[in-house]
Amino acid sequence: DVKVTQSSRYLVKRTGEKVFLECVQDMDHENMFWYRQDPGLGLRLIYFSYDVKMKEKGDIPEGYSVSREKKERFSLILESASTNQTSMYLCASSFSRTGIGSPLHFGNGTRLTVT
Amino acid sequence: LAKTTQPISMDSYEGQEVNITCSHNNIATNDYITWYQQFPSQGPRFIIQGYKTKVTNEVASLFIPADRKSSTLSLPRVSLSDTAVYYCLVGVRNTGFQKLVFGTGTRLLVSP
């Protein structure tokens, strides 16, 4: 079974802090994604990556950046955390370069609270 | 952008068949339709995927009409453990790659 592991289940940070959310997958998947999930808004795509050192913006990239130095690891960075970034963050991975026909495998999420 | 529309919520009873419809009027020729299930405090889990007509696996069926502008997830004989949020996902082409966009999800509540 594919395993997508997010480093923290719960995280509490202060406004203005730099925050790193880490995600590791163990199936050699090319594609990795970061979503955030908020009540009433469903899942929204922040950033995605189809290869090492490659990244593309999703629907809500503002206030976030990402890093993919190794194929198995995809990091989400909040440069200066704000209270409106309090949310559940979900990492996912999939195989194949295009992602067509390839299901996403999700981690269990990191619930981030910014105070 | 192939936006999807689903009912916000549905109620059912144990043993009934549940059909959840997703509308995706702007689906592109090469897009697939995928459904996910999500329980509280967990990430979404893949259920089923299809391109056209009908697909069936051990947990669900997916019906896609010829125009592909909608799809219906069918869950036979639901149980309490099927209470979850169900997401319809349609692939969106973006400079040769897929930019995957989720719908808002349908909250299914199964009662005894």
Q: pLDDT means per 10 residues in chain B (112 residues)?
A: 84 97 88 90 91 93 96 96 93 58 86 96
- For B81, which DSSP code? G
Residues of chain A in contact with residue B30, where contact means CB-CB under 8 angstroms, are: 100
Whether the per-residue pLDDT at A2 is higher than 70: the answer is no
Question: Among candidates A34, A45, A28, which has minimal Cα distance to A97?
Answer: A28
Whether the per-residue pLDDT at A65 is higher than 90: the answer is yes
Task: Report residue A13 as tokens.
Answer: 């940070």
Neighbour tally for A99: CB within 10 Å: 22
Residues of chain A in contact with residue B94, where contact means CB-CB under 8 angstroms, are: 56
Question: Among candidates A60, A64, A62, which has minimal Cα distance to A18?
Answer: A64
pLDDT at site B30 = 79
pLDDT at site B95 = 46
Q: How far apart are CA A92 and CA A31, in angstroms?
A: 8
Neighbour tally for B55: CB within 10 Å: 16
Q: Which is more confidently placed, A28 or B14?
A: B14
pLDDT at site B29 = 85
Q: Do B46 and A101 touch (CB under 8 A)?
A: no
Cβ contacts below 8 Å, chain A against chain B, sum to 66
- For B42, which DSSP code? S
Question: Among candidates B9, B5, B17, B10, which has minimal Cα distance to B74?
Answer: B17
Residues in chain B: 112
